[in-house]
A and B are shown apart, each in its own frame.
Chain A
């Protein structure tokens, strides 16, 4: 159980000897799509704002 993990093994948390990283390509592509959506909607309203001024 993770609750039993104690303070002593937390010091190395920022070191580079992290466990080998899993492939998260699908996650990365998903969040990029999300970012693109944020960008497009924001730009859309920004253009509306400029055009109405």
Chain B
């Protein structure tokens, strides 16, 4: 198949650019642990969330220096526990599951943005370096009051 010389040059440039993008994303994913959510796949019976540890007791607890674990349940239309509070500089490891339909779990202005699918446990971490009241919202349509589904995390 014949190709114009300049088209060959253009495609080489374009394909190289794509390759560089992929390389950056790949190194971050597999080398630096900056991967999309969930390396490991964890399961839970979605109808028995309230009886299954640790989700029978949704809570935020300190697990180390400046490190917290937030075990959370998303449901139509809210999150447990609420409210939550951590000191500035804390790393929070969120562990979220759903007791009904698919929900979202997003903290605007951070990279915390993960789906909460019934039967699965979503894991995502973030270090909160700035004080403030962080909004946590559902960003996946989940029913008639989807827009009301939110909670907050206060960083002091």
| Direct A–B contact in the complex, CB atoms closer than 8 angstroms | yes
Chain A contact surface mostly: helix
* Cα A38 to Cα B18 with chains together (Å): 10
Nearest B residue (CB) for A42: B21
**B41 proximal to A (CB < 8 A):** no
User: What is the total number of residues of chain A having a CB less than 8 Å from a CB of chain B?
Assistant: 19
A52 near B109 with CB under 8 A, answer yes
Give the dominant DSSP class at B's interface. helix
Q: Number of residues in B with C-beta < 8 Å to the partner?
A: 18
C-alpha spacing A17/B131, complex, angstroms: 69
| Candidates A14, A27, A32, A38; contact of B2 at CB < 8 Å | A14
The digit string for B105-132, where 1 denotes a CB below 8 A from any CB of A, is 0000111000000000000001000000
A-B contact pairs, 25 of them (CB 8 A): A13-B1, A13-B2, A14-B1, A21-B5, A24-B4, A24-B6, A24-B7, A25-B6, A27-B6, A28-B6, A28-B9, A28-B10, A31-B10, A31-B14, A32-B10, A32-B13, A35-B13, A35-B17, A38-B17, A46-B24, A49-B111, A52-B110, A52-B111, A53-B34, A53-B111
Q: Does A39 contact B (CB under 8 A)?
A: yes
The 9 A-B pairs of least Cβ separation, nearest first, read: A28-B6, A52-B111, A31-B10, A18-B2, A24-B6, A53-B111, A52-B110, A13-B2, A21-B4
